[in-house]
Amino acid sequence: MKKVKTILFAMVLFTGNLFAQDYGTGIGLRLGGLSSGISVKGFVNSTSALEGIASFGRHSFIATGLYEKHFAIPGATGLNMYVGAGGHIGFFGYRGSYFYKKKNEYYYVYDEGRTAVVPGVDLIIGLEYKIKDVPLAIGVDIKPFIDFFDGSGFYFDGALNIRYVF
């Protein structure tokens, strides 16, 4: 077991400069459609990355995890295309307040409602550019996804990504 840990440590130590994107980890914002939020991407080897997206909305939170393969574009230093897949789980609260009138009296009602837990699957395709000599990466992507709640629903999402990289 000690030998396996030593080999894994050596692999992590010596693959630090092999990343296709010229960085190891990036954290930033995904600005766009339904799954806008905070994004963290970390490369696990020279062409593969894991990305997590935390999306916050009105009475909602969605956590998305993606596995992505990156491909360098020949002749365009710092520019890569990527494709990937993953899943998400969303938490949606259906609550609200309203007024109504009954027999000349006004009533205020606050309805806690129910919270729905919605799992789903995601695909992603995009372009990302690591700005030379600046710790920033900028990208655009298209991320279609399917929710599985009371049947299934298909959504088409796109966004601009801005990340601080290190």
Could you give the CA distance from residue 131 to residue 164 in angstroms, rounded to a whole number?
Answer: 10
- Token couple for 81: 């295309």
Q: Which domains does the chain have, with CATH numbers?
A: 18-89+117-165 (2.40.160.20)
The pLDDT tens digits of the residues spanning 115-148 come to 889 999 999 999 999 999 999 999 999 999 999 9
Confidence of residue 2 (pLDDT cuts 50, 70, 90): low
The pLDDT tens digits of the residues spanning 72-89 come to 999 999 999 999 999 999
The secondary structure element, H or E, covering residue 65 is strand 60-72
For residue 97, which amino acid is it?
A: S
Could you give the CA distance from residue 7 to residue 5 in angstroms, rounded to a whole number?
Answer: 5
Could you give the CA distance from residue 84 to residue 123 in angstroms, rounded to a whole number?
Answer: 6
Coil vs helix vs strand at 104: coil
